């Protein structure tokens, strides 16, 4: 008896992956969306997604679908959730596994993404999406905020040298709310994972704002220790 024959009478379902790719650029958190090219709901807005092939894992499928659809590659994605409501996809019985990532758009943006109809849109610009993709985004945002609470993820999205205002702006985008400047400064500096530089950013004022640089050794130590960064 072959391995396949053990499950010969078992129901067969399609398995898909959907990629929720957040990008940070010029002080704004954005999401990568695409206009669907196949039925059902061709032409409607969608997350980047596709079906898992028989010879690949869901991780491999997510990486393949993302690169094939947008040209984006070498992006580390975290598996988020499995969506299996019976009627979630009007085309067939489809179970979807979602992946999410947070990247610097300037580091990864490719013309191929635009050629395939993919767009970086700010969160308030996201149109109505197909199926349960809006729910997927809501869950990804919740995971992102939870991650930001326990890990200083902002440093991975900013330039090597940055101001506290730039860092605060990132967290305001993640939490979608205005943060008190003094309170944020006090909390972020208490983590002691940054080095204050003599250089200043004078793009917004003559006086300028001090630049900071992330200290990777202190960050690694903090990751092992754990933290709670309450906004």
Give residue limits of the domains in the chain.
Answer: 12-149, 151-225
Arithmetic mean of pLDDT, 110-139: 86
CA angle 210, 215, 220 (to 5 degrees): 150
CA angle 79, 81, 86 (to 5 degrees): 140
Gyration radius (Cα) of the chain, Å:
21
Fold (topology level) of 12-149: Nucleoside Triphosphate Pyrophosphohydrolase (3.90.79)
CA 59 to CA 150: how far, in whole Å? 24
Taking the model in full, what pTM does it have? 0.88
Give the C-alpha distances (Å, rounded to integers) separating 105 from 22, 31, 63, 109, 158: 9, 10, 17, 5, 11
Hey, which CATH number is domain 151-225, 3.40.50.10490, 1.10.260.40, 2.40.128.640, 1.10.10.10?
1.10.10.10
- Look at the block and give the residue holding tokens 């220790």: 225
Contacts of 42 (CB under 8 A, 6+ apart): 36
- For residue 162, pLDDT over 70 is answered with yes
- For residue 53, pLDDT over 80 is answered with yes
Does residue 21 or residue 156 have the better pLDDT?
A: 21
Average pLDDT, the chain: 88
Q: What is the pLDDT of residue 46?
A: 96
Per-residue pLDDT tens over the stretch 79-94: 999 999 999 999 999 9
- For residue 150, pLDDT over 70 is answered with yes
Per-residue pLDDT tens over the stretch 3-49: 567 888 889 899 999 999 999 888 899 999 999 988 999 999 999 99
CA 99 to CA 218: how far, in whole Å? 29
- For residue 116, pLDDT over 70 is answered with no
């Amino acid at each position: 008896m072959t391995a396949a024959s053990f499950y010969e009478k078992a129901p067969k379902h399609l398995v898909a992956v959907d990629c929720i790719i957040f990008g940070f650029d010029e002080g704004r958190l954005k999401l990568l969306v695409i206009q669907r090219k196949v039925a059902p709901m061709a032409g409607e807005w969608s997350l980047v997604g596709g079906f898992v092939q028989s010879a690949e894992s869901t991780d491999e499928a997510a990486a393949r679908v993302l690169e094939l659809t947008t040209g984006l590659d070498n992006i580390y994605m975290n598996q988020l959730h499995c969506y299996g409501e019976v009627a979630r996809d009007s085309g067939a019985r489809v179970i979807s596994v979602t992946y999410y990532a947070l990247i610097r758009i300037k580091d990864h943006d490719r013309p191929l993404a635009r050629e395939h109809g993919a767009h970086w849109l700010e969160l308030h610009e996201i149109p109505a999406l197909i199926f349960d993709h809006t729910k997927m985004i809501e869950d990804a945002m919740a995971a992102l905020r939870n991650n930001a609470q326990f890990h200083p993820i902002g440093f991975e999205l900013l330039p090597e040298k940055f101001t506290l205002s730039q860092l605060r702006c990132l967290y305001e985008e993640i939490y979608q709310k205005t943060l008190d400047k003094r309170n944020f400064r006090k909390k972020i500096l208490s983590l002691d994972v940054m080095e204050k530089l003599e250089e200043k950013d004078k793009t917004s004022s003559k006086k300028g704002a001090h630049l900071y640089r992330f200290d990777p050794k202190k960050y690694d130590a903090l990751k092992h220790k754990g933290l709670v960064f309450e906004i």
